[in-house]
Amino acid sequence: MAMVSVRHRGWKSVLHGSAIALMLAVTVPSIARAQQVNAVNSDATVAKEDQERQALLDQLAALEKRIVELTAISPQSVPTSQIAMAAPQAAAPQQAPAMPPGMVMPQTGPSPGANPANPEGNPTDSTNPQDLLDRIKVLEQRLKDLETTAVLSEPQTRTKRVEVYVDPQGGVHDEPVPGARKTVTYQRERVYRRQTMSEQIEAAIADAEQHKVEVGVNAGIVAQFGFRTQGDTAAPTNRAYELASADLFFTAGIAQNTVFFADLVGLGGTHPENEIPTLTLINGYSARLQNQNQISVREAWLRTEVMSGKLAMVAGRMDLTNYIDHNAAANDETSQFLSDALVNNPMLGLTENGIGFVSVYDPKHGFNGKFGFQQSNSNAASLNESLFTMGEVGYVARLPKTGEGNYRFWYRTDNASGTGYRSGFGTSIDQRLSPRLTLFGRYGEAEATVNWNSFYSGGLKFDNGFGFFPGDVWGLGYAQTHLQTSEKERVIEGFYNLSLTEKLKLSFHLSHFLEMQQGGTKLGYLFPGVRLQANF
């Protein structure tokens, strides 16, 4: 029994051993194969990830290359955060921007809501695919921004006025040193300013504008019709007149605070003063007429400013009334009233432009003073025979419940008559009663042969939207001239100036002149008219 059992146990053991061996023989190779397969699969996955990572890196490199192309090659123009990202595999430490001394560096350590070590929140510099994708996203956005606004990154060079200290040995110091004298020099400076192409172009155009001669044109065409309303039936009536004028202005800055100006005027056509006897000009343009269809130099002068701009001096051929007897509502035949009595004060007695000088003291406090002289007769041999001298004091006031007002008082002398100096005085006032309504007035007296001539005018100007279009201006005015010889003139005019564009204006005028001539005869005329004015 024991042997049987031993034998039986041995047989069982053999069977068990065989089974185990068989199992081992089957399973071990399969495990080994499985391990081999797994190893192969693992290698393939790694290779695939490497390929994807390499693709991302290639994409990054392409983006970075494009960004470098768009920005400058200079490291100054490429933010260092991008430089660090441009070489991710180099694992270079994050560089802080080049920083002038004394400035505050972003410090490490936690701060509320942000990481000062990485204020831009850039994705970390690793080869993790998600980090690479994040970086691609950032770079794509950056690329989009750069492509949207192409900018220049070259350093900008500009020359500046600097104060330096020169010692006795000729050494230059930025700060004062013993024995050094302070002086001014000019020095180039470079800055790193990125500007768009349009900014550069605008700057170039503005610079060119500053250095060129500016040309302006003021052209006007005035058509008027004359209808006699009373008086001598033999006097002309039902007449049409047309006058065309073109002013060419040239302005150039020739030195610090110094400007040259010239006004060439050409005028042609018919004007009512040729055949209708009035004390003042019916058409203010006629005052410019010297020679038909010829260009003449109306003004040519130099203006310079001194005393921090408080004192301006003008010398050359000029119209002194451009500086004196100003008025905000009735001063310009090209945009306001057409009748000369509502443009100037006849008591000024200055009928033509000439060589002269004027100084204007204006500290911008509201008070201003002007003084000047001018040749008043171009046929005179010298200024001794035709010296027109004039002074004015002006004041900007603001009366209660009204807007601003300009009050001017002038005095003048003139020896052009050949009988010594004759004087005159006057005032010119414009007072804004409301934002849309301005009251104006003039008064003047002038010494004549026996007695004094006198003049006054007044009226209203409406603007600031008191019309069809925002830029429209219209006005009503009345003027009366009384000569020592008992001649009188009463002028009334209304106009409406349509502001078609900033450069083109069309105005309609209606004026009536009543002349009371010596002997008591009266002559009345109605003048409807149209003025087309281009100013550019």
Partner 1 sequence: MFSTKRVLTISGFLVVVGALSAAFYNVMPSSHVQAADVKVADPTSVVMIVNRDSNDLAFMDIKTHKIVGKTFLGNNVNPHMVMMSPDGRYVVTGGTRANKAYIVDSHTLELVKVIPVGIAPEHLSFSPDSRWYYQGNPEGDSISVIDMQSMTMVKTINGLVEPLNITFTPDGSKAYVGNYGAHWVGVVDVRRHELMKKIYLSDFPGVAKLDPSKYLGETKGINIGMFSPDGKYLYAADGDLGIVAVIDPREDKVIKTIRVGKEPWRIYMGHDGKYAITPNNGDQTISIIDLKENKVAATLEAGPDMTGVNFAAGKAFVISSTSGYVYVYNMSSLRPAGRLKIGTNVQLETATTDTADQKLYLAESTTNSVVIIDARTEAIERVTNVGLYPWGTHIMDSKDNYCH
Determine which residue in the list 66, 194, 422, 512 makes contact with partner 1, applying CB under 8 A: 194
Give whichever of 53 and 66 is closer to partner 1, judged by the CB atom.
Answer: 66
Cα separation, 61 vs 59, in Å, equals 5
Give whichever of 412 and 432 is closer to partner 1, judged by the CB atom.
Answer: 432
Closest listed residue to residue 476, CA positions, set 442, 438, 525, 443:
438
Residues binding partner 1: number (CB under 8 A): 67
Contact between 120 and partner 1 per CB under 8 A: yes
Contact between 364 and partner 1 per CB under 8 A: yes
Contact between 393 and partner 1 per CB under 8 A: no
Contact between 253 and partner 1 per CB under 8 A: no
Contact between 141 and partner 1 per CB under 8 A: yes
Q: ∠ CA 342-344-347 to the nearest 5 degrees?
A: 115
Cα separation, 410 vs 391, in Å, equals 6
Give whichever of 89 and 111 is closer to partner 1, judged by the CB atom.
Answer: 111
Determine which residue in the list 363, 421, 449, 451 makes contact with partner 1, applying CB under 8 A: 363
**CB-based contacts of 380, cutoff 8 Å, min separation 6:** 386, 416
Closest approach, Cβ 49 to partner 1, in A, equals 30
Given the rule CB under 8 A, which of 41-49, 100-108, 261-269, 281-289 is the region that contacts partner 1? Answer: 100-108
Determine which residue in the list 432, 461, 509, 531 makes contact with partner 1, applying CB under 8 A: 432
Determine which residue in the list 230, 290, 464, 517 makes contact with partner 1, applying CB under 8 A: 464
What is the Cα Rg of the chain in Å? Answer: 45
What DSSP element (H or E) covers 207?
helix 197-211
Q: 201 — phi, psi (to 5°)?
A: -65, -45
Contact between 151 and partner 1 per CB under 8 A: yes
Contact between 504 and partner 1 per CB under 8 A: yes
Cα separation, 307 vs 299, in Å, equals 25
Give whichever of 100 and 519 is closer to partner 1, judged by the CB atom.
Answer: 100
What DSSP element (H or E) covers 80?
helix 80-86
Contact between 109 and partner 1 per CB under 8 A: yes
Strand, helix or coil for residue 58: helix
Beta strands of 213-238 (E only): which ranges? Answer: 214-230
Cα separation, 513 vs 135, in Å, equals 85
Determine which residue in the list 374, 428, 499, 507 makes contact with partner 1, applying CB under 8 A: 499
Contact between 197 and partner 1 per CB under 8 A: no
Cα separation, 180 vs 150, in Å, equals 48
Strand, helix or coil for residue 532: strand
Contact between 79 and partner 1 per CB under 8 A: yes
Contact between 211 and partner 1 per CB under 8 A: no
Q: Check residue 346 and report its DSSP letter.
A: G
Contact between 187 and partner 1 per CB under 8 A: no
Determine which residue in the list 59, 94, 153, 251 makes contact with partner 1, applying CB under 8 A: 153
Q: 322 — phi, psi (to 5°)?
A: -70, -20
Strand, helix or coil for residue 67: helix
**CB atoms near residue 192 (< 10 Å):** 12
Determine which residue in the list 61, 66, 106, 131 makes contact with partner 1, applying CB under 8 A: 106
Contact between 521 and partner 1 per CB under 8 A: no
- Using CB atoms within 10 Å of the CB of residue 391, give its burial: 0 to 12 exposed, 13 to 18 middle, 19+ buried: middle
Helix axes 129-148, 2-70, angle to 10 degrees: 10
Give whichever of 195 and 290 is closer to partner 1, judged by the CB atom.
Answer: 195
Contact between 147 and partner 1 per CB under 8 A: no
Given the rule CB under 8 A, which of 276-284, 318-326, 344-352, 358-366 is the region that contacts partner 1? Answer: 358-366
Contact between 500 and partner 1 per CB under 8 A: yes
Closest approach, Cβ 476 to partner 1, in A, equals 21
Q: Provide the b/e sequence for 487-511 (b: ≥16 CB within 10 Å).
A: eebbbbbbbbbbbeeeeebebebeb
Give whichever of 101 and 418 is closer to partner 1, judged by the CB atom.
Answer: 101
Residues near partner 1, by CB under 8 A: 76-80, 97-100, 102-107, 109-114, 116, 119-121, 141, 145, 148-149, 151, 153, 156, 160-161, 191-195, 256, 308-309, 363-366, 396-398, 403-404, 432, 434-436, 464-465, 468-471, 498-502, 504
